Chain A
Amino acid sequence: LAKTTQPISMDSYEGQEVNITCSHNNIATNDYITWYQQFPSQGPRFIIQGYKTKVTNEVASLFIPADRKSSTLSLPRVSLSDTAVYYCLVGDPVSGSSASKIIFGSGTRLSIRP
């Protein structure tokens, strides 16, 4: 299973763009990259998922370079409510495969200030 490395914490201000980078040097060919957000005492919430290049949805963008050894979650114009822990996960989505379980890394604790 690919291990991920993220910054432990980040601080930013309302209205700023926040980029959180995740390293996954031993990512496998079938692995997808998924980011989750977690607020205190809640389950993780899916943000975005990608395999290569760039993916964008209504809340974030995900940038993945050609070698796929890292990825960057970009949150445009953050607000106070974006204060949370963000997890980068790498895994094989094939159902039933022993490699399909998802292991959480330490995550990045993002704090947004007024």
Chain B
Amino acid sequence: GAVVSQHPSRVICKSGTSVKIECRSLDFQATTMFWYRQFPKKSLMLMATSNEGSKATYEQGVEKDKFLINHASLTLSTLTVTSAHPEDSSFYICSARSGGYNEQFFGPGTRLTVL
């Protein structure tokens, strides 16, 4: 199947700093990308949906000014956690889907730890 990568795989940062996570579709063009977060032993929670070249659509309760999403090209989406705090520590997972295709391909996830 298609491959989606995330970088970095894990990051540790100090409280108050901003962290950028990249999501890339390596062998297909992703018209739509999704960002999820997952707490330990919990299910994935959808944060936002982004379509290439347009603004992301955020789920209810997700602060768009805190979690900045950019989907500037068909192969790259970035999630920036601004002014990170310890409660933002989580596992962030992206997924990508090409136009008109049923399957959604997931990245390996990024473990964010905010000290």
- Interface residue tally for chain B (C-beta within 8 Å): 31
Contact A95–B31 (Cβ < 8 Å): yes
A101 touches B108 (CB 8 A): no
Q: Are A95 and B108 in contact (CB under 8 A)?
A: no
A94 proximity list for chain B (CB < 8 A): 100
CA–CA, A44 to B36, complex, Å?
11
Closest chain B residue, CB of each to CB of A102: B104
Smallest Cβ distance from B12 to chain A, in angstroms? 15
Q: Evaluate contact between B44 and A44: CB separation under 8 angstroms.
A: yes
Contact among A34, A46, A95, A106 with B32 in the assembled complex (CB-CB below 8 Å): A95
CA distance A103 to B49 in the complex (A): 11
Could you mark each residue 61-105 of chain A with 1 if its beta carbon is under 8 Å from any beta carbon of chain B, else 0? 000000000000000000000000001000001111010111111
Contacts of B57 in A (CB 8 A): 98
> Are A95 and B106 closer than 8 Å at their CB atoms?
no
On chain A, the residues within 8 Å of B4 by CB distance are 43
CA distance A102 to B47 in the complex (A): 11
The answer to whether A42 and B43 have CB atoms under 8 Å apart is: no
B107 and A101 contacting across the interface, CB-CB below 8 Å: no
Interface of B (DSSP majority class): strand
> From residue B53, how far is it (CB to closest CB) to chain A in Å?
12
Q: Is the interface of A mostly helix, strand, loop or mixed?
A: loop
Within 8 Å of chain A (Cβ to Cβ): is B1? yes
**B51 in contact (CB, < 8 A):** yes
Known: A95-B32, A96-B32, A100-B32. A45 touches B46 (CB 8 A): no
A-B complex: 7 closest residue pairs judged by Cβ atoms: A43-B106, A93-B102, A104-B44, A95-B99, A104-B43, A44-B106, A43-B109
Residues in A lying within 8 Å of B, measured CB to CB: 32, 34, 36, 41-46, 49, 87, 93-96, 98, 100-107
Q: What are 17 of the A-B contact pairs (CB < 8 Å)?
A: A34-B103, A34-B104, A41-B91, A43-B93, A43-B95, A43-B106, A46-B1, A46-B103, A93-B101, A94-B100, A95-B31, A95-B99, A95-B100, A101-B34, A101-B49, A104-B45, A104-B46
